């Protein structure tokens, strides 16, 4: 098949990740895959590294003024910037797919519903997104739920050392956050303080946005000696390998690639009950759900995992198995290809 992935993300977010790795998989399986993206984006640089063919997503291209090449599928991975012009052009050339990753923003979903005449499949990354498509009035027959894909090979090495990790003390609890307001990091440190009051041997790690104020927060709580603070980096699989428990401190609906990566690494996860992110957790099986913004709820959940290593280890195995069986690139990529063939009549 001849597949065009289109993504308007500038940073390395979940949309860019999906556009990159699905295109790479399609190419490896004998299909023609092209990525249209901004030349100043993270995605463009990664496509060059993987020798994927790219097209520039320029202002003109956004208006539908790009060269036609007989694509079977045009798949939009960041639909917030969609407009009628580019959709009309894509629909004239191919079957059109649009993937939405995060729930919420009813106005955005209604805008997408208005483009329904040009879209063949609305792809929902989780049940909450599917519900929002339906609420916006999208025809149920046009909605398909497909969980995000992950290149599992980068992460399963972390999983392989987990049996030994869960025999090791003290436990390490970590989070990844790019929240520039630092509210998530501040909340995580308050949770760490509450855990340390009862389990003083526990260690913590924060990875993400670079800001010295995070260290100051840890010092003000008197726990800086128990918290490793790392800035954004590229060796996340190695970081995940060091963790026993992964925590999401978000207070907003959405989808997190870091959560999926943690599960793929065999790390037990503590996640707030928020639409989107909690769709990937079955409480007590592949993670624990807690009340958003309530440090006591987080601390209790983390403490229960630290105090029950067999439960924590079993939870990590279930999490890995779910991701490996349902979200690895071969599974997700083949699912997409079969759906493309069905819709395109190939």
Q: Which residue ranges form the domains of the chain, and what is each CATH number?
A: 2-149+328-344 (3.40.50.2000), 154-325 (3.40.50.2000)
Half-sphere exposure of residue 131: CA atoms within 13 angstroms, side-chain side: 10
End-to-end CA distance of the chain: give it in Å, rounded.
8
Mean pLDDT (the chain, rounded): 93
Predicted local confidence at residue 180, as pLDDT? 93
The pLDDT-based confidence of 167 (bands split at 50, 70, 90) is: low
Which residue reads 């401190």 in tokens?
Answer: 249
User: What is the reported pLDDT for 166?
Assistant: 64
- DSSP-derived letter for residue 148 is P
Whether the model pTM is above 0.85:
yes
Place of tokens 């029950």: 308
Average pLDDT over residues 217-223: 97
CB neighbours of 98 closer than 8 A, spacing ≥ 6? 75, 76, 79, 82, 112, 115, 119, 121, 122, 123
Strand partners for 228: 205
- pLDDT of 160 strictly over 80: no
Q: What pLDDT sits at residue 162? A: 66
Q: Say what the pLDDT of residue 256 is.
A: 86
Max Cα–Cα distance, the chain, nearest Å: 63
168: pLDDT strictly greater than 70: no
**Angstrom distance (rounded) from CA 277 to CA 274:** 6
Q: How confident is the model over 274-287, as pLDDT tens digits?
A: 999 999 999 999 99
pLDDT at 212 over 70: yes
pLDDT at 232: 77
Q: Which residues are CB-neighbours of 116 under 8 A, at least 6 positions away?
A: 122, 138, 139, 142
Q: Are residues 137 and 284 in contact, defined by beta-carbon separation less than 8 angstroms?
A: no
Residue 163 has pLDDT above 70, yes or no: no
Of residues 156 and 263, more confidently modeled: 263
In the chain, % of residues over pLDDT 70 = 97
Beta strand residue intervals within 159-198, DSSP E: 172-177
* The pLDDT of residue 58 is above 70: yes
CA atoms 87, 42, 181, 173: torsion sign:
positive
- Where is pLDDT greater, at 221 or 69? 221
pLDDT in tens, 238-255: 888 889 999 999 989 998
pLDDT 10s digits, 98-156: 999 999 889 999 999 999 999 999 999 999 999 999 999 999 999 999 999 999 887 77
């Amino acid at each position: 098949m001849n597949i065009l992935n289109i993504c308007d993300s500038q940073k390395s977010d979940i949309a860019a990740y999906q556009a990159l790795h699905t295109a790479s998989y399609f190419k490896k399986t004998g299909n023609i895959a092209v990525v249209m993206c901004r030349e100043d984006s993270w995605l463009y640089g990664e496509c060059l590294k993987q020798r994927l063919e790219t097209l520039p997503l320029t202002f003109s291209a956004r208006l539908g003024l790009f060269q036609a090449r007989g694509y079977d599928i045009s798949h939009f991975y960041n639909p917030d910037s969609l407009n009628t012009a580019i959709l009309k052009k894509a629909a004239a050339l191919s079957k059109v797919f649009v993937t939405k990753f995060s729930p919420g923003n009813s106005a955005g979903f209604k805008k997408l519903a208005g483009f329904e005449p040009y879209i063949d499949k609305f792809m929902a990354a989780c049940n909450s997104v599917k519900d929002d498509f339906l609420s916006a009035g999208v025809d149920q027959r046009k909605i398909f739920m497909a969980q995000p894909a992950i290149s599992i090979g980068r992460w399963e090495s972390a999983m392989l050392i987990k049996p030994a990790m869960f025999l090791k003390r003290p436990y390490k609890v970590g989070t990844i956050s790019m929240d520039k307001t630092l509210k998530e990091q501040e909340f995580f440190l308050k949770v760490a303080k509450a855990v340390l009051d009862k389990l003083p041997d526990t260690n913590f790690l924060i990875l993400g946005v670079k800001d010295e104020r995070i260290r100051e927060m840890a010092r003000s709580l008197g726990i800086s000696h128990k918290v490793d603070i790392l800035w954004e980096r590229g060796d996340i699989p190695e970081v995940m390998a060091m963790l026993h428990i992964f925590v999401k401190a978000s207070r907003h609906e959405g989808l997190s690639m870091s959560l999926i990566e943690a599960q793929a690494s065999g790390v037990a996860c503590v996640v707030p009950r928020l639409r989107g992110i909690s769709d990937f957790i079955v409480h007590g099986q592949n993670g624990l759900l807690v009340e958003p913004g309530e440090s006591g709820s987080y601390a209790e959940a983390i403490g229960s995992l630290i105090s029950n290593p067999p439960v924590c280890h079993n939870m990590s195995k279930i999490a890995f198995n779910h991701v490996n069986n349902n979200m690895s690139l071969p599974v997700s990529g083949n699912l997409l290809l079969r759906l493309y063939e069905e819709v395109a009549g190939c």
